[in-house]
Structure 1
Amino acid sequence: MTKEEILTLSKKVCKNTLMETLDIEFIEVGEDYLIAKMPVTPRVHQPEGVLHGGATVALAESVGSFASYVFLDTDEFFVRGIEISANHLKSVSEGFVYAKATYLHKGRTTQLWNIRITDAEENLISIVKLTTITLPKKK
């Protein structure tokens, strides 16, 4: 798949999902990474007016899971997230946050993703680890 095909596919698969609800947009793909962005507005704030950690984790799982989907043979397999952990390091109240997913481990069955959430100035907002599992589709 070309970069353009992957980004077009992302728009299709995000329709009527949490990703659409949170305005998550996949913006860049490389040979071993995928980047998405999400606007930080009151819709994703906690009551104190900063980005909710749950919205941050939803962004991270979205980009990591979609990266597994893109980089694996999804004609034969499906992908599910099985574990996620996040450390929130800095708060942000407006603008965009960016999630870059890169492999730490690319196994046949499990994949471990490192996902860095940054702001527009590349300040580290959160660091997330996501484990996905690849399972065969039933014929």
Structure 2
Amino acid sequence: MTLLAPEFQARHDHSLPGDLGIVVQHLAAGEVRAELAVAPHLMAPNGFLHAGSVVTLADTACGYGCMASLPEGAQSFTTIELKSNHLGTAREGVVEVVATLYHGGRTTQVWDAVVSHRDSGKTLALFRCTQMILYPRG
């Protein structure tokens, strides 16, 4: 069962989130849960999970949440700022993210995400991003 609309799933599968192996577990207005299995192509040269892999997981969850939470008349969004605090890392297992809408305005949304290691429960990163809401011209 897919949580994404078929046309969106196809874009997911053939873009960075799909290439990395991100799987959306829950998608609703205001909350997204996703996961990523730690794999060799996600690692930094030092043998630990690459920070960019963690940021991509969190940013993807927030972005999908933004799309599911667009105000009436909005067409899309673009991320205008993101910040991450990395508190730990992983070498194996599955990392999970829970993204929640903090502010849902007409022109911006702010999302918070917590990335954790499934087996240990350890928080790996805290993430916040701001999206600018885009409307059709005219």
The 3-state SS of whatever aligns with 1:8 is coil
Segments of structure 1 that go 5 or more residues without pairing to the other structure are none
Match of 1:138 in 2: 137
TM-score, with normalisation over the residues of structure 1? 0.88
Segments of structure 2 that go 5 or more residues without pairing to the other structure are none
Match of 1:77 in 2: 75
- Deviation, 1:30, is 4.4
Q: Percent sequence identity over matched residues?
A: 26
Q: Which amino acid aligns with 1:8?
A: L
Larger mean CA deviation between 70-79 and 120-129 belongs to 70-79
Q: Is 1:8 the equivalent of 2:4?
A: yes
- Deviation, 1:75, is 6.3
Cα deviation code 1:3-53 (max 9, x no counterpart): x77x13252330210011101110113453101111111110001111100
Cα deviation code 1:36-95 (max 9, x no counterpart): 111111110001111100111111111101100011158642111110000110110111
CA-atom RMSD in angstroms: 1.9
TM-score, with normalisation over the residues of structure 2? 0.88
Distance 2:127 2:88 in 1: 13
Q: Is the 8 A contact 2:98 2:114 kept in 1?
A: yes
In the TM superposition, what are the counterparts of 1:57-96 in structure 2 within 5 Å? 57-73=55-71, 76-96=74-94
Count of matched residue pairs: 135
Q: Is the 8 A contact 2:30 2:100 kept in 1?
A: yes
Sort the Cα spacing of 1:48 and 1:58 in 2 relative to 1 into closer, same or farther, 3 A.
same
Distance 1:60 1:66 in 2: 10
Match of 2:123 in 1: 124
